[in-house]
Amino acid sequence: MATLTAALNASASALNAERTRIEVAVSNMANAESTRGPDGHPYRRRDVILTPTPDTSFDNALSTTGVVGVQVQAVVEDTAPFRRRYDPSHPDADAEGFVETPNVDSPTEMVDMLSATRAYQANLTAISMIREVVQKALELGK
């Protein structure tokens, strides 16, 4: 049963990580045209950094990897330069008529959202399969 619990924990941690990835990608898309934030600069794209979650339980002390799951280490700002667009009528245009726009690429964000959604679905399927295995095992034990 310990391996089934570890598998459930791994999938559950992945669900949390993928949810964060989806939320960050949605935030990036929502702010793709934000030319001025609270700091006076355009919005900076954010990215999620994931790390493995070590398992320090006694059951996995002899495990070769010692890793069960994933966690969000940080949400960091992308340091890529802002894009520049010529629009002299824009209120944020500089003296030359250029406006700095966020470093968000919509197709990239869509791919990130789809990737995170597929991973989320895969982990839901894994949890469902583990649940079915446990139910079948309990039925056999009757």
- pLDDT 10s digits, 62-71: 455 556 789 9
CA 87 to chain centre: 34
What pLDDT is stored for residue 82 in this prediction?
94
pTM as predicted: 0.82
Residue 109: pLDDT band by 50, 70, 90 thresholds?
very high
What is the percentage of the chain residues whose pLDDT exceeds 90? 69
Question: Mean of the per-residue pLDDT values for the chain?
Answer: 88
What pLDDT is stored for residue 141 in this prediction?
79
Residue type at 88 in one-letter notation = P
Contacts of 16 (CB under 8 A, 6+ apart): 71, 72
The helix or strand, by DSSP H or E, that contains position 107, with its residue range, turns out to be helix 106-140
What pLDDT is stored for residue 113 in this prediction?
96
The helix or strand, by DSSP H or E, that contains position 100, with its residue range, turns out to be strand 98-101
What pLDDT is stored for residue 65 in this prediction?
53
What pLDDT is stored for residue 110 in this prediction?
96
Supply 7's token pair: 């598998």
58 or 95: whose pLDDT is higher?
Answer: 95
